[in-house]
Amino acid sequence: MSQGALNYISRRLTVPPAELWGVVTFYHLLSTKPRPPIVAHVCDDIACRIHGGEALCESLEQIMGPPGAHGENGRATAWMRSPCLGQCERAPAALLTVAGERPRTITLAPVEDGTASIVDALRDPPDTTDTRLGARAPDERQRRVSRSVPQVGQAGMRLIGRIGRVDPTSLEAYRASEGYRGLARAVEIGPAAVIAEVVASKLLGRGGAAFPTGRKWDAVAKAEARPHYLVCNADESEPGTFKDRLLMEEDPFALIEGMTVAGYATGCERGYLYLRGEYPLAAERMAGAIAAARAAGLLGADVMGAGFEFDIEIRRGAGAYICGEETALFNSIEGKRGEPRNKPPFPVQVGLFGRPTVVNNVETLVNVPALLREGGAAYGGIGTEGSTGPKLFCVSGEVARPGLYEAPFGITLRQLLDLAGAAPVRAVLLGGAAGVFVGPADLDVPLTFEGTRAIGATLGSGVIMVFGESVDLLDIVRRIAEFFRDESCGQCVPCRVGTVRQEELLARLRARRPLGSDAEEMALLKDLGQVMRDASICGLGQTASSAVESAIFRLSIAGRRA
Amino acid sequence: MKPEPIWFQPPPPPSRPPAAPGRPAAPPVEVVIDGQRATVPGGSTILDACRARGVDIPTLCFLPTLTPVNVCRVCVVEVTGSRVLVPACSRRVEPGMTISTESERVRVSRRMVLELLASSVDLSTAPGLHDMMTRYGAQPERYGPAAVPAAAGARDRREPGHHQAPDGARAETVAQPVKVDNDLYIRDYSKCVLCYKCVEACGVDAQNTFAIAVAGRGFDARISTEADVPLPDSACVYCGNCIGVCPTGALMFKREHDMRAAGTWDESKQRTTDTICPYCGVGCTLSLHVQDNRIVKVTSPADVSVTGGHLCIKGRFGFTFVEPPGKDSD
Amino acid sequence: MQWAELWASLDVGSDIALANAIGREIIAAGLEHREFIENATTGFDDYRRGVEPYTLAYAERETGVPADVIRTMAHEYARAPRAMICWTLGITEHHNAVDNVLALVNLSLLTGHVGRYGSGLNPLRGQNNVQGGGDMGALPDRLPGFQHVENDEFRSKFDRAWGVAVPPERGWHLSQMFEAMERGDLRALYVIGENPLQSEADQNHARHLLEGLDFLVAQDLFLTKTAELAHVVLPASAAWCESEGTVTNSERRVQRVRKAIEAPAGSRDDLTILFDLARRLGRNWGRPDAETIWNEVRRLSPMHAGMSYARLEKHGGLQWPCYDEEHPGELFLHSRLWERPLRGPRVAFVPVEHDPPVDRLDAEFPLRLTTGRRLDEYNTGVQSSAYHSPLRRGESLDVSPEDADRYGLSEGEVVRVRSRRGAVEVPVRLDEGLRPGLTFMTLHFPDDVATNVLTIDATDPKSGTAEFKATAIRIERLGV
């Protein structure tokens, strides 16, 4: 963003220039310094790391020089390191940003031929949003979808049933495969009954916090302040997570239907889809689907002729993990820095633009049409008592068939790993960077909210990342610490400084140069964990030590090396 | 002699002096503070409720005249049933709330917040924080020796999402050269704890000038003008209300900064006298800090109703006309 | 302006046309406060008839403010639960200053936005004790506490207290003094803390009159341009930090000023000088002590009676009227108007008519110059020039971008600004906040640019204020 562009935005939006500067410098896909028009953002995060992401970066450095080179010297291209791009099932991955008359972003994944495809793409950016679409033959496209979703074609899939089977760009195809039957039933039974069905299903939010969806909807539906807003949190950025991306890419109408039902039930006339900036294909498919739905009268002033108004606006993220935190996401939609708000008040009372707001994760909303088709009570019978319904798992790392898996809650970790073809494992990261490492002894844990809680772990967003014997776990843990240091918004002291101190401490452990004794370092790590967990404003800081502490104290990886 | 109706013979006073309309008071709330039952006004914050009962809770980013941002986390307390500690400055009391203000968990968090700050920020001109550190036993030296300070402007150029990997041998800090770009006040961001107070005072809580904002992300977050331009190129109007709310001396009168550098700053020789600003008709109270018969700093008490401690450029800096001309550079 | 919901950018000097049109629109829309008008005012019918010609179309023509903006202002003001009119010298530095104020008073009476919390009329004072000066009787017709000098009851109270006969006639205000100098009726002048040579309108004329005095005394902190002319200069100390006393701010709050530093050798505070002068004139007033004198004010001025130093200290100042030591002071005035039955007399609507500025625009002098202050400066710069303001950029003629285009002016170009009274040379500065046809200068740098050479000394007969805000000028490009 040039100074001229900043001045224009400031005047056009009547935002003070200093505030605008604060916003622009918050998001890592935006730059205030000249950058070459084409930049490759190469993932060096944990899943890609296992699959050669770091080696890729090192090769690029040899060919192109250090990362983050700026455009002062008139160069046309550059490369940068990136946190998880959400392509973990087809690692390693890179994202190409192309500026100019037709700015666009392109996903390159998997990058299987060393640096060649990145160098080629930098020279001549492919005319697509995702290299997966590059294949001409339908069979090959199908094969590539199956690679990300190994269960394609299997019967009984509620959430991924259409993937690979139904053309995601065709509203007609969607309608022909039970599409919009959920909304039709919703309109038939009315908003209160819809909420009753969701309550009966005992559906818990799939974004990581596992809050009862029905209760949330009910609170907003009853809130007196108007208007109400619906926000779909599609800022999936938890390292290791890619489920929402695939749902949006391969079954976009299901999300639109889910959002429409939610808007109808809670009295929202406007829904925002806050979509991660690094997901070009999802954005393309969602935008196309929204336009098609609007043209068909399924969004707009009179949805389905049923006398209610609902429409969806896409807001793209610009590179900030923290914006997946719901209140940071509100601030981001409002055009501010993505700094989380203190809670209470909760979003159902004071949310987006200060109004009662329903925030739901993509997967949660995709459950809704299916739930309405089958009936809330029946849907609640799937899974276990405490965790109902089907669940998506993002399996990556050292497995034969990484990808998105659907299974009823209650499947054990071992069963899931068998599906994905895991070799003997040293550790499994449950729930992503904000999650917990478990060891081989924990493989029989049932994958439910209560089951993982019982072993001091978490299901989080459904990340199952597998590490074998050869992986340098201390390096993985250090990368997680680096991630949190980068992604902390910087607002509160425990997280802003605590993530720095945690990363420094891990660097010392890795170099085997402790300050004082090892025991003192361990005490320090515990103190850091405690203050971040207890005193941070939001979930990012509260979980920034979770994976690190579990690796050090649960798996004793530091001791093993040292 | 023609009488002029109203003013020639003043009208009678009202039957009683006018007053501000009362606000409907929320019903009182029963809470337990450190094991003691207490009835506190509904809608009050935990901090209000505790301070009214003489229970001391330390604060850093809180000021009664600013909207609480609850970012420093020094004021956290334990509330039974809450998974995490809660900020006393902004959390409102609820019926039946059981609050512990000095539990072990609370003390650990406070100690750690102070350690994290003291290990990364120069607190040499923040005396209040030293008392707090003693109270909670903070040991900032256990993070190792401080890293080499950043070069001028280096921190302002950092980009979100990217940082130099640390080796852990030295603790990263916010140390950097002082920004001196005008004759009135300096910005020493080596002393900045990022409490947001200056941004609030520059914005809707006092001045509505919006010359500064928080820029960058994470540990690289910093207070910045637009595009990090020097103050004279920014929207700054030099009201100095940011100086007035700064808890660490990061924002400081240039005169104080120069005197400290010269070793002539001596608070034991200073006297503070409250008077009224000689300029416009608002009537702001000026606290004149005088050393050796010379005004060395001007502040304004926050508890005065007129402007709540906020001043403008003339009130805060325009006092030098009572000094012999040419005595010093400002 | 940046933060306003509405900006009525009017032609300078058309305030009454605007106010009357707002009043007319409020009545036409039925938004006037009937109960308040019926119970607390007189003259509404005359007012209604008086504003009848001020249609929105007429006002748009006269003021340049779009009719829909005026209409919105009228409706919003009338409907607001609380609304306040605040003004500064843009209302009062006109030849019809008092009429301007009355036009605003009429609006507050029309809507009942007076005498209630959060409502009212607020002249924002530009100097720290301009309110207090008036309160203390520094007005030609008042004794301390606004007690009229021509009221025998009030005056005799002072006669008794002071042991002298206070002259029963009102004196001259500032503009009348200059007129008296012109006539030769005023031959000696004692100026305390003011720099009239540079602050009066039509500066060349003012200099001529001051130079013609038989005897001029200047009491000041500085050797001002006025003091340079004086026969006697009495060096004074700074009242706000080198002596004790009180000042009164815009909200009528009497506040303590305190001595923080010693005054420079040879200077004395105003009280000491006056006491010494009295002694030389044969009267011993005793020891000059601010609190003693303040207590005398409290004895003689009922509205200050309750304000002991101790209470001023305790409450951080008190707002007059404060009748006794139990009285909290009045947060706002005129609340009696809402008592039923009404307490005291009704308040009159006073219809006023639009009368454009004296200095007319014509083909020769086509641009309007208005004067004012900048944030970091103060009046003629006597005090404010001492500190190094980073905002300071010296005097300029601020013009709208449109006028700059029209006259081919560029930023920084030095031009000659000429009025019917004189000319100055000054650099041009472009200001998007100005409407076309309007230009702006300050009086902060009189030694560099004597802005008041341009201004007109047409004064309001009631207040004596000169029309600093409306001068007709033309811009002459140098070397063209």
Find chain C residues with C-beta within 8 A of B15's C-beta: 336, 339, 343
CB contact under 8 A, C390 and B183: yes
What pLDDT does residue C277 have?
96
Distance from CA of C334 to the nearest CA of B (A): 8
Chain A contact for B70 (CB, 8 A cutoff) = yes
Nearest partner of A199 among A377, A383, A378, A392, judged by Cα: A377
B185 bridge partner residues: B253
Find chain A residues with C-beta within 8 A of B215's C-beta: 21-22, 25-26
What confidence category does residue A71 fall into, taking pLDDT thresholds of 50, 70 and 90? low
What pLDDT does residue A331 have?
98
- Token output for C305: 């009676």
Find chain A residues with C-beta within 8 A of B116's C-beta: 493-494, 497-498, 501, 531
Distance CA C399, CA C411 (A): 9
What pLDDT does residue A422 have?
83
Distance from CA of B227 to the nearest CA of C (A): 19
Distance CA C189, CA C180 (A): 11
Distance CA A394, CA A240 (A): 7
Of B11, B182, B232, which is closest to C344 when you measure between CB atoms? B11
Find chain B residues with C-beta within 8 A of C330's C-beta: 13-14, 17-18
Task: Please give the backbone phi and psi of residue A274, each rounded to the nearest 5 degrees, phi first.
Answer: -90, 105
Its sign, for the CA torsion A432, A437, A440, A445, is negative
pLDDT tens sequence across A322-352? 999 999 999 999 999 999 999 999 999 999 9
- Token output for C249: 């701010």
The rounded mean pLDDT for chain B is 94
CATH architecture of the domain A33-134 equals 3-Layer(aba) Sandwich (3.40)
| DSSP 8-state secondary structure symbol assigned to residue B184 | S
What confidence category does residue B1 fall into, taking pLDDT thresholds of 50, 70 and 90? very low
Strands C120-123 and C84-87: parallel
CB contact under 8 A, B295 and C241: yes
Nearest partner of A310 among A191, A135, A143, A148, judged by Cα: A191
Find chain B residues with C-beta within 8 A of C343's C-beta: 11-12, 14-15
Chain A residue closest to B60 (CA)?
A493
What pLDDT does residue C464 have?
80
pLDDT means per 10 residues in chain C (480 residues)? 85 97 98 97 98 98 97 98 95 94 98 96 91 93 93 94 94 92 96 89 89 96 94 96 96 97 94 96 93 97 97 95 96 96 95 96 96 92 91 95 96 96 96 94 92 88 86 90
CB contact under 8 A, B116 and A32: no
Chain B residue closest to A517 (CA)?
B142
What pLDDT does residue C417 have?
97
**What is each CA distance from C115 to A193, C6, C109, C197, in whole angstroms?**
54, 25, 10, 40
Portion of chain A with pLDDT greater than 90, in percent: 89
- Answer whether residue B330 shows pLDDT above 50: no
Chain C contact for B184 (CB, 8 A cutoff) = yes
C64 φ/ψ sector (left φ>0, alpha ψ -120 to 50, else beta): left
Find chain C residues with C-beta within 8 A of B313's C-beta: 375-376, 389, 391
SS (H, E, C) A447-476: CCHHHHHHCCCCCCCCEEEEECCCCCHHHH
C8 bridge partner residues: none
- What's the topology of domain B172-322? Alpha-Beta Plaits (3.30.70)
Of B85, B112, B217, which is closest to A527 when you measure between CB atoms? B112
CB contact under 8 A, B224 and A22: yes
Distance from CA of B53 to the nearest CA of A (A): 24
B222 bridge partner residues: B215
pLDDT tens sequence across C263-297? 999 999 999 999 999 999 999 999 999 999 999 99
Find chain B residues with C-beta within 8 A of C238's C-beta: 278, 321-322
Nearest partner of C415 among C460, C369, C377, judged by Cα: C369
Distance CA A330, CA A347 (A): 9
CATH architecture of the domain C367-477 equals Beta Barrel (2.40)
Task: Please give the backbone phi and psi of residue C213, each rounded to the nearest 5 degrees, phi first.
Answer: -70, 150
pLDDT tens sequence across B274-311? 999 999 999 999 999 999 999 999 999 999 989 999 99
What confidence category does residue B329 fall into, taking pLDDT thresholds of 50, 70 and 90? very low
Every domain of chain B and the residues it spans: 27-145, 172-322
pLDDT tens sequence across A385-431? 999 999 999 999 999 999 999 999 999 999 999 999 988 899 999 99
Find chain C residues with C-beta within 8 A of B7's C-beta: 146, 148
Distance CA A365, CA B230 (A): 49
Q: Which of C383, C393, C462 to mutate to test the interface with B (most CBs of B within 10 A)?
A: C383
- Token output for A39: 């930049």
What pLDDT does residue C479 have?
75
Distance CA B72, CA C210 (A): 62
CB contact under 8 A, B11 and C317: no
Task: Please give the backbone phi and psi of residue A247, each rounded to the nearest 5 degrees, phi first.
Answer: -60, -45
pLDDT tens sequence across B179-223? 999 999 999 999 999 999 999 999 999 999 999 999 999 999 999
Chain C contact for B94 (CB, 8 A cutoff) = no
Question: In a 10 Å sphere around its CB, with 0-12 CB exposed, 13-18 middle and 19+ buried, how is residue C366 labelled?
Answer: middle
Every domain of chain C and the residues it spans: 15-124, 130-319, 367-477
Distance CA A152, CA A139 (A): 13
Residue type, A119: V
- Answer whether residue A320 shows pLDDT above 50: yes
| DSSP 8-state secondary structure symbol assigned to residue A100 | S
Its sign, for the CA torsion A504, A505, A508, A514, is positive
The highest-level CATH class for domain C15-124 is alpha beta
Find chain B residues with C-beta within 8 A of A504's C-beta: 143-144, 166, 168, 171-172
- Answer whether residue A85 shows pLDDT above 70: yes
Task: Please give the backbone phi and psi of residue C448, each rounded to the nearest 5 degrees, phi first.
Answer: -95, -50
| DSSP 8-state secondary structure symbol assigned to residue B216 | S
Chain C residue closest to B292 (CA)?
C261
**What is each CA distance from A135 to A112, A114, A146, in whole angstroms?**
15, 20, 14
- What's the topology of domain B27-145? Ubiquitin-like (UB roll) (3.10.20)
Chain C contact for B313 (CB, 8 A cutoff) = yes
**What is each CA distance from B12 to B17, C118, C156, C319, C337, in whole angstroms?**
12, 22, 21, 17, 10
Q: Which chains touch C (3 or more CB pairs under 8 A)?
A: B
Chain A residue closest to B202 (CA)?
A18
Nearest partner of A369 among A192, A170, A183, A169, judged by Cα: A183
3.40.50.2020, 3.40.50.11540, 3.30.1490.20, 3.40.50.300: CATH of A171-380? 3.40.50.11540
The rounded mean pLDDT for chain A is 94
Strands B212-215 and A228-234: unpaired
CB contact under 8 A, A485 and B163: yes
Find chain A residues with C-beta within 8 A of B108's C-beta: 527, 530-531, 534
pLDDT tens sequence across B17-31? 999 998 888 899 999
SS (H, E, C) chain C: CCCCCCCCCCCCCCHHHHHHHHHHHHHHCCCCCHHHHHHHEECHHHHHHHHCCCCHHHHHHHHCCCHHHHHHHHHHHHHCCCCEEEECHHHHCCCCHHHHHHHHHHHHHHHCCCCCCCCEEEECCCCCCHHHHHHCCCCCCEECCCEECCCHHHHHHHHHHHCCCCCCCCCCCHHHHHHHHHHCCCCEEEEECCCHHHHCCCHHHHHHHHHCCCEEEEEECCCCHHHHHCCEEEEECCCCCCCCEEEECCCCEEEEECCCCCCCCCCECHHHHHHHHHHHCCCCCCCCCHHHHHHHHHHHCHHHCCCCHHHHHHHCCEECCCCCCCCCCCCCCCHHHHCCCCCCCCEECCCCCCCCCCCCCCCCCCEEEEEECCCCCCCCCCCHHHCCCCCCCCCCEEECHHHHHHHCCCCCCEEEEEECCCEEEEEEEECCCCCCCEEEEECCCCCCCCHHHCCCCCECCCCCCECCCCEEEEEEECCC
Q: According to CATH, where is 3.40.50.11540 located in chain A?
A: 171-380
pLDDT tens sequence across A443-455? 999 999 999 999 9
CB contact under 8 A, B169 and A498: no
What pLDDT does residue C200 have?
82
Most confidently modeled range among A88-97, A110-119, B317-326:
A88-97
- Answer whether residue B4 shows pLDDT above 60: no
CB contact under 8 A, B227 and A68: no
Distance CA C360, CA C354 (A): 14
What pLDDT does residue B22 have?
87
Contact by Cβ (8 Å): B225, B234: yes
Q: According to CATH, where is 1.20.1440.230 located in chain A?
A: 473-561
Portion of chain A with pLDDT greater than 70, in percent: 98
CB contact under 8 A, C126 and B281: yes
CB contact under 8 A, B169 and A3: no
CB contact under 8 A, B293 and C124: no
**What is each CA distance from A220 to A267, A349, A351, in whole angstroms?**
8, 7, 10
- Token output for A338: 């993505």
Mark out the alpha helices in A233-351 (DSSP H runs): 243-250, 252-266, 280-295, 326-333
Q: Span A313-319, mean pLDDT?
A: 97
Distance from CA of B252 to the nearest CA of C (A): 16
Chain C residue closest to B326 (CA)?
C386
CATH architecture of the domain A473-561 equals Up-down Bundle (1.20)
Has domain C130-319 been given CATH number 1.10.1740.10? no
